[in-house]
Structure 1
Amino acid sequence: MSKVLIVSDSHGSTEVLEGIEKLHGNDVDLMIHCGDSELSESDAAIVNFRSVKGNCDFYGTFPDDETHDVNGVKIFVTHGHLYSVKSTLVNLYYKAKELQADIVCFGHSHLLGAEMVDDVLFINPGSIRLPRSRAEKSYAILELENEKAILQIYDYGNGELTELRQEFSLHKKS
């Protein structure tokens, strides 16, 4: 089993990133930041995260997109502003299909959400600094085992929101 920590839209808050890493850093295989950290890649708070560039990231040279292979599961990471995610997931869906990604992690809207579209799992961990439509400063931990993805949502400072735990079926490409 592999675990992936997913955060987004921390907007300059080094304290929250450091706190999340302290809580979970030793228990996860990969820490992803979906952009808008507003930090440079050399900042101690983000150095252990694999981060992409958001529309508010004016420091550093983060890539626009990244892909990660975690035990045969392909994860595509982007901030989302380049794909108009505030109005549609269609552009992101086509990019995921082009890359043969199983999972897409993105931010930008500050809206927590997860859904399967055909065979692609879309995850937006919300914002750990400026949440929208919910009060929780949310982030996610994704457990990957065989063809199962278990998504756990956390509220920074208050622990897991167990009522939001979801399980998805992944169909790995052979």
Structure 2
Amino acid sequence: MRIGIISDSHGNTMAIDMAVKMAGEVDCWLHAGDLIGDAEYLSMVTEKEIFNVAGNCDWPQTTVPDELLISKAGHRIFLTHGHNYGVKRSRDEIKSAAIAKGADIVVYGHTHVAVIQQEKNCLTINPGSISFPRDGEGQSFMVLNINQKAVRVEHFHL
């Protein structure tokens, strides 16, 4: 199973188009917030299932949840923007929340800094920002590959 992961697109539909093309065949997309309208656009340009959450720039959006727990290919993915978990200071709170919810993968955004961190009981993923990266590495997104028990993350730059 291949899962596209995007966050912090902030209205840059051209970047979304590029990500969809570069990712190739995926089974679904996760959009970790900022902006909800971009997740709606993503659903128009791909026929794949879209899971999305609201970010801090989406307030006061009431129809989209702040977090989701998604089961895919034998894994539980905790999807949230991250602003409610203090991710700019530390990833400890978001990892603890994911584990408490029974997730073994956490996907978040908010920092605009890409992260792939595998620990004993939780894989933490931030795809960076597809529009305004803050890590000096450029616009990015990721694809999560799950093959039976093996999990691998591909990091793409536009």
* Alpha-carbon shift at residue 98 of structure 1 (Å): 1.2
TM-score (norm 2): 0.88
Unaligned runs of 5+ in 2: none
Query: What is the CA–CA distance in structure 2 between the aligned matches of 1:71 and 1:135, rounded to whole Å?
Result: 30
Q: Distance in 1 between matches of 2:142 and 2:62?
A: 25
Greater alpha carbon shift after TM alignment, 101-110 vs 52-61:
52-61
2:33 matched residue in structure 1: 35
Letter in 1 for 2:7: S
Looking at structure 2, the residues matched to 60 and 20 of structure 1 have their Cα atoms a distance apart, in angstroms, of 27
Instruction: Give 1:62 shift.
Output: 1.6
The 5 Å alignment of 1:150-161 reads: 150-156=152-158
Separation (CA, whole Å) in 2 of partners of 1:40 and 1:110: 16
SS in structure 2 of the partner of residue 97 of structure 1 = helix
Q: Percent identity?
A: 33
Cα gap change, 1:64 to 1:89, in 2 (>3 Å): same
Q: How far did 1:50 drift? A: 1.4
Bigger-Rg structure (1/2): 1
Q: Which 4+ runs in 1 deviate beyond 6 A?
A: none
Query: Aligned partners of 2:62, 2:16: CA distance in 1, in Å?
Result: 17
Secondary structure at the counterpart of residue 39 of structure 1: helix
2: CA distance, partners of 1:38 / 1:28: 20
Output the CA distance in 1 between the equivalents of 2:32 and 2:42.
14
CA distance in 1, matches of 2:26, 2:112: 23
Q: How many residues align?
A: 153
Shift of 1:20: 2.1
- Deviation, structure 1 residue 60: 6.6
| Greater RCO (CA < 8 Å, at least 6 residues apart) | 2
